[in-house]
Amino acid sequence: MSEDSVTIIGAGIVGICCALSLQERGIHVRLVDRGEPGQETSFGNAGVISPWSVIPQAMPGIWKNIPRMLLSRTGPLTVHPTFWPKMVPWGLRFLRQSSEAKAREISDAMDLLCRPSVDLYRRHLQGTGHEGLVVDSFYVHAFRHADRPTLDSLDYKMRREKGAELEVIGAEALRAMEPALSHDFRAAVVIKGQARAVSPGKIGQVLAEKAIMRGAEFIKAEVTGLSRSANGGWEIRTTNEILQAERIVLAAGVWSAVLLRPLGLSVPLAAERGYHVEFPKAGVTLKNSVMDVDAKIVASSMADGVRVAGSSEFADADAPADPRKKALLTQQARAMLPDLDPGEVNFWMGRRPSFPDSLPSIGPIPAQHGLFSAFGHSHYGLMMAPKTGEMVADLLANRTSNVSLEAFMADRF
Ligand SMILES: Cc1cc2nc3c(=O)[nH]c(=O)nc-3n(C[C@H](O)[C@H](O)[C@H](O)COP(=O)(O)OP(=O)(O)OC[C@H]3O[C@@H](n4cnc5c(N)ncnc54)[C@H](O)[C@@H]3O)c2cc1C
């Protein structure tokens, strides 16, 4: 492949957005994935696309909640018993990010990635005939206690400081906004000015088709290893063939770490697994993305039914899904939406690629000429993908940029 070509490993939403932005800069793209584009982690998320999801997971005081969350059988956080040896160092790094100063610093970096997400999705979808896959939405954080929501808490304060329009509403207004929601919810914080995906998997499929129509090559193969070639480029070993590449963007989600390890690079990337249940014949609808703040689950009406997604389960990426999550999420969905008809339930598990500071790795991988990172988007990959693509494309097109990549470097830990 020529100097003006880039091979992207991983055609999740991040790899696909990198492909589109590279093509816009006149660079030929080859995408390699073992599966169909956009059908792994990027398929089953909650669909929240927000300029205001600028709050990292490690916030001040989080340490106080962790034991309670771990001990609860129905809580959002679980650690697989065999994962503890990896969990402890990751968890300590996570806690080190949780001062207010650090959270604010991270929030600024998240802002850079999230702020243009809605506009960039609309630009990418324009002309595909599927512009309706992203719709305007509020993000409704629903509380069971009327006196709990306050805009004075640090997370809402940080959002407001960045320009988010937030409103606290009571039970009556909540009922009018989301009639299907249980009357147990007594108040909500409504985050305005954002969007949601009505089918994250379809967005991946449509945008990958757009990239292919514009000349991207798609190779369906599993990458088994990376090594330097004799001419200073790269050899990509796949299950089918060996590919030559001058420049590689590694966008293989949580599996990126496995491909870096033989090169002597160890990154603290954990598989923070999440689940969804989807009810194709739910019999109820929601107008917005709605979070049950106690259960930490997000419900949304999607093209294929009502989807309820959540859970943070730290485990090996390829460990089997925990079947108990299906019953738990279904029960939580019914508590949120009492008239929901559970009927047929589609159950899904995906792996958030999570660094301890909630930020992805984007940029040149140190001491690996021609190898670039675009992975580690944890809870925010759908919304951060388009700007990630823009940053990667500017970098590879040698465009001058006023964006510092320091916060996103692979060796920052
Ligand atoms: C329950 C849940 C809810 C979520 N909700 C939201 C949300 O509302 N909003 C939001 O912004 N984010 C959300 N996320 C996070 C978001 O889904 C992820 O951050 C995002 O999908 C990551 O995209 P990716 O392209 O990096 O990874 P992936 O989608 O996992 O793509 C990686 C690709 O690499 C391929 N690959 C890996 N290894 C190889 C190999 N060796 N050879 C060939 N191909 C390979 C895989 O097949 C895959 O297609 C949620 C996640 C979960 C689990």
Atom number in ligand 1 closest to CA 238: 42
Q: Pairing between strand 234-238 and 187-197?
A: unpaired
Q: Is the C-beta atom of 387 inside 6 A of ligand 1? A: no
Tell me how far the alpha carbon of residue 378 lies from the centroid of ligand 1, in angstroms.
8
pLDDT at 67: 87
The pLDDT, as a whole number, for residue 3 is: 59
Give the DSSP letter string of 242-269: EEEES-EEE--GGGHHHHHGGGT-----
Q: Give pLDDT < 70 ranges for the chain.
A: 1-3
Can you tell me whether residue 347 is helix, strand or coil? strand
Residue 1, pLDDT score: 54
Architecture of domain 5-408: 3-Layer(bba) Sandwich (3.50)
Q: Is ligand 1 within 6 A of the CB of residue 350? A: yes
Ligand 1 centroid, distance to 197 Cα (angstroms): 15
How crowded is the C-beta side of 39, counted as CA atoms within 13 Å? 7
Q: Which residue has the tokens 């930020």?
A: 359
Structure tokens at 350: 């995906």
Evaluate the CA torsion angle 362, 260, 348, 107 in order and state its sign.
negative
CA dihedral 409, 262, 350, 387 (to 10 degrees): 30
Q: Which atom of ligand 1 is nearest to the CA of 374?
A: 26
3-state secondary structure 264-319: CCCCCCEEEEEEEEEECCCCCCCCCEEEECCCCEEEEEECCEEEEEEEEEECCCCC
pLDDT 10s digits, 130-185: 999 999 999 999 999 988 788 999 999 999 999 999 999 999 999 999 999 999 99
φ/ψ (deg, to 5) at 361: -105, 120
Residue type, position 390, single letter: E
Q: 407 CB under 6 A from ligand 1?
A: no
CB 389 near ligand 1, within 6 Å: no
User: How far is residue 412 from each of residues 32, 149, 352, 361, measured CA to CA in Å?
Assistant: 27, 35, 19, 9
- Residue closest via CA to ligand 1's atom 26 equals 253
What Cα–Cα distance (Å) separates residue 97 from each residue in 78, 266, 355, 378, 392? 20, 19, 11, 15, 25
Tell the residue nearest (CA) to atom 30 of ligand 1. 41
Beta bridge partners, 31, equal 8, 218
Q: What is the CA radius of gyration of the chain?
A: 21
Q: Are 130 and 122 in contact (CB under 8 A)?
A: no
Total count of residues recorded for the chain: 413
Task: Give the number of the atom of ligand 1 that is nearest the alpha carbon of residue 117.
Answer: 11
